[in-house]
Chains A and B, each alone.
Chain A
Amino acid sequence: MGKVQLQISRRTFLKGALTGSAGAALALGALEEAAAAPSGKGATPWYYRGEIKRAYSVCDMCPWRCGVIVQSVNGRVYKIDGNPADPKSRGMLCARGQAGASFMYDPDRLRSPMIRIGERGEGKFQEVTWEEALDAMAQKLLAIKEQYGPESVAIFGHTSGEFWFTDYFAQAWGTPNASKPSSSLCTSPREEASLLTVGLPVGGHEPVDWEGVRCVTLIGSHIGEDSRNTVMQDFTRAWARGAKVIVVDPRFSSAAAKADYWLPIKPGTDTALLLAWINVLITEHRYDAEYVAEWTQGFDKLAAHVAEMTPEWAAAITELDPELIRTTARVMAEHLPQSVIVPGRHVTWYGNDTQRMRAVYIINALLGAYGREGGIYFNKSPYIEAYPHPPFAVAGSSGGCSAEPGAENGELPVGPSGKARADGARTKFLRGPTAMQELIEPMITGEPYPIKALIVYGVNLLHSIPNVPRTIEALKKLDLVVAIDVLPMEHVAWADIVLPEATIYERFEDVWTVSHKTPYIALREPAVEPYADTKPAWWMARELGLRVGLEKYFKWETVEEFVATRLQSIGYTVEKLREEGGVIVQKGKPYLSDFKGASPFKTPSGKIELYSEALALAGHDPLPVYTPVEEPPPGWFRLLYGRHPVHTFAKTQNTPLLHQLNPENELWLNAEVAASLGLKNGDRVWLENQDGARSGPIKVKATQRIRPDAVFMSHGFGHNAPGLSLANGKGASDAALITRYALDPICGGAGMRVNFVRIVKEA
Chain B
Amino acid sequence: MALYAFLLDLSRCIGCEACAAACIAGNELPAGAQYIHLIEQTHGVFPHLTGGFKNHRCYHCADAACVKVCPTGALYKEDGLTRLNRDVCIGCAYCTDACPFNVPQIVDGRSSKCDACAATTKAGGQPWCVRTCPSDALRYGERREILAEAHARVEAIRARYPKARVYGEAEAGGLGVVIVLPDAPEAFDLPANPQTPLLLDVWQKVVQPAAVGLTGLSVLVTGVAAIIARRNHMKELAELRAQQAQTEQNAGAQEGER
Binding site for B on A (CB under 8 A): 1-3, 5-6, 21, 24-25, 27-35, 38, 40-43, 45-47, 78-82, 91-99, 101-102, 223-225, 227, 229-230, 232-233, 235-237, 239-240, 242, 252, 254-255, 257-258, 260, 262, 264, 645-646, 656-658, 660-662, 670-672, 703-708
Q: Please tell me if B50 contacts chain A, counting CB pairs below 8 Å.
A: yes
What are 12 A-B contacts with C-beta separation under 8 Å? Answer: A42-B119, A43-B28, A45-B27, A92-B133, A92-B134, A98-B25, A224-B15, A240-B12, A254-B53, A645-B16, A661-B34, A705-B42
How many residue pairs link A and B with beta carbons under 8 A? The number is 195
Give the CA-CA distance A3 to B136 in the complex, in Å. Answer: 8
From B41, which residue of chain A is reached at the shortest CB distance?
Answer: A257
Q: Is the CB of A264 within 8 A of B47?
A: yes
From A96, which residue of chain B is reached at the shortest CB distance?
Answer: B21
Q: Please tell me if B191 contacts chain A, counting CB pairs below 8 Å.
A: no
Q: Is the CB of A257 within 8 A of B22?
A: no
Q: Is the CB of A92 within 8 A of B31?
A: no
The residue from B17, B131, B156 contacting A240, defined by CB atoms under 8 A apart: B156
Residues on B with C-beta less than 8 A from A661 are 17, 20-21, 34
A343 to chain B, nearest CB (A): 20
Q: Could you tell me which residues of chain B, from 1 to 59, have a CB within 8 Å of some CB in chain A?
A: 7, 11-12, 14-18, 20-22, 24-28, 31-32, 34, 42, 44-47, 49-53
Residues on A with C-beta less than 8 A from B22 are 93, 95, 98
Q: Is the CB of B12 within 8 A of A657?
A: no
Residues on A with C-beta less than 8 A from B135 are 232-233, 236
Give the CA-CA distance A29 to B130 in the complex, in Å. Answer: 12
Residues on B with C-beta less than 8 A from A93 are 18, 22, 132, 134
Residues on A with C-beta less than 8 A from B46 are 252, 264, 670-672, 704-708
Residues on A with C-beta less than 8 A from B130 are 3
Residues on B with C-beta less than 8 A from A30 are 123-126
Name, among A45, A98, A657, the residue most crowded by chain B CB atoms within 10 Å (CB to CB): A98
Q: A78-B28, A233-B135, A252-B51 are in contact. List 7 more A-B contacts (CB 8 A).
A: A41-B87, A46-B28, A94-B132, A98-B24, A236-B134, A645-B17, A708-B46
The interface stretch among B138-146, B198-206, B207-215, B234-242 is B138-146
Residues on A with C-beta less than 8 A from B85 are 41-42
Q: Please tell me if B149 contacts chain A, counting CB pairs below 8 Å.
A: yes
Q: Is the CB of A99 within 8 A of B125?
A: no
Residues on A with C-beta less than 8 A from B156 are 240, 242
Q: Is the CB of B123 within 8 A of A25?
A: yes
Q: Across the A-B interface, give the 6 residue pairs with the lowest CB-CB distance, nearest first.
A: A28-B125, A1-B141, A30-B124, A224-B14, A34-B123, A95-B21
Name, among B26, B87, B160, the residue most crowded by chain A CB atoms within 10 Å (CB to CB): B26
Given contacts A2-B140, A25-B125, A98-B132, contact A646 B21 (CB under 8 A): yes
Q: Is the CB of B42 within 8 A of A254?
A: no
Residues on B with C-beta less than 8 A from A671 are 46
The residue from A21, A95, A237 contacting B136, defined by CB atoms under 8 A apart: A237
The residue from A98, A257, A662 contacting B51, defined by CB atoms under 8 A apart: A257
Residues on A with C-beta less than 8 A from B160 are 260
Give the CA-CA distance A129 to B240 in the complex, in Å. Answer: 68
The residue from A46, A227, A258 contacting B18, defined by CB atoms under 8 A apart: A227
Given contacts A29-B126, A47-B123, contact A705 B49 (CB under 8 A): yes
Q: Please tell me if B120 contacts chain A, counting CB pairs below 8 Å.
A: yes
Residues on A with C-beta less than 8 A from B49 are 252, 257, 262, 704-705
Q: Is the CB of A92 within 8 A of B132?
A: yes
Residues on A with C-beta less than 8 A from B122 are 34-35, 38
Give the CA-CA distance A221 to B17 in the complex, in Å. Answer: 18
Give the CA-CA distance A232 to B32 in the complex, in Å. Answer: 27
Q: Is the CB of B12 within 8 A of A3?
A: no
Q: Is the CB of A236 within 8 A of B42?
A: no
Give the CA-CA distance A704 to B42 in the complex, in Å. Answer: 8
Q: Please tell me if B137 contacts chain A, counting CB pairs below 8 Å.
A: yes
B137 to chain A, nearest CB (A): 7
Residues on A with C-beta less than 8 A from B151 are none
Q: Is the CB of A6 within 8 A of B131?
A: yes
From B25, which residue of chain A is reached at the shortest CB distance?
Answer: A98
From B115, which residue of chain A is reached at the shortest CB distance?
Answer: A42
Q: Is the CB of B123 within 8 A of A703?
A: no
B158 to chain A, nearest CB (A): 12
Q: Is the CB of A25 within 8 A of B124?
A: yes
From A228, which residue of chain B is reached at the shortest CB distance?
Answer: B134
From B27, which residue of chain A is reached at the shortest CB distance?
Answer: A45
Given contacts A30-B125, A41-B85, A657-B25, contact A98 B18 (CB under 8 A): yes
Q: Please tell me if B233 contacts chain A, counting CB pairs below 8 Å.
A: no
From B83, which residue of chain A is reached at the shortest CB distance?
Answer: A41
Give the CA-CA distance A360 to B224 in the complex, in Å. Answer: 79
Give the CA-CA distance A34 to B141 in the complex, in Å. Answer: 17
Q: Please tell me if B86 contacts chain A, counting CB pairs below 8 Å.
A: yes
The residue from B32, B124, B159 contacting A32, defined by CB atoms under 8 A apart: B124
Q: Is the CB of A35 within 8 A of B136?
A: no
Residues on A with C-beta less than 8 A from B24 are 98, 657, 660
From B142, which residue of chain A is reached at the shortest CB distance?
Answer: A1
Residues on A with C-beta less than 8 A from B21 are 94-96, 98-99, 646, 657-658, 661
Q: Is the CB of A236 within 8 A of B139?
A: no
Q: Is the CB of A45 within 8 A of B120?
A: yes
Give the CA-CA distance A7 to B39 in the complex, in Å. Answer: 31
Residues on A with C-beta less than 8 A from B159 are 242
Residues on A with C-beta less than 8 A from B87 are 40-42
Give the CA-CA distance A1 to B27 in the complex, in Å. Answer: 21
The residue from A2, A24, A235, A257 contacting B141, defined by CB atoms under 8 A apart: A2
Given contacts A45-B119, A252-B49, contact A91 B18 (CB under 8 A): no
Give the CA-CA distance A5 to B135 in the complex, in Å. Answer: 16
Q: Is the CB of B124 within 8 A of A28?
A: yes
Residues on B with C-beta less than 8 A from A236 are 12, 14, 134-137
Give the CA-CA distance A99 to B119 in the complex, in Å. Answer: 21
From B85, which residue of chain A is reached at the shortest CB distance?
Answer: A41
The residue from B12, B44, B139, B145 contacting A704, defined by CB atoms under 8 A apart: B44
From A99, which residue of chain B is reached at the shortest CB distance?
Answer: B21
Give the CA-CA distance A394 to B157 in the complex, in Å. Answer: 56
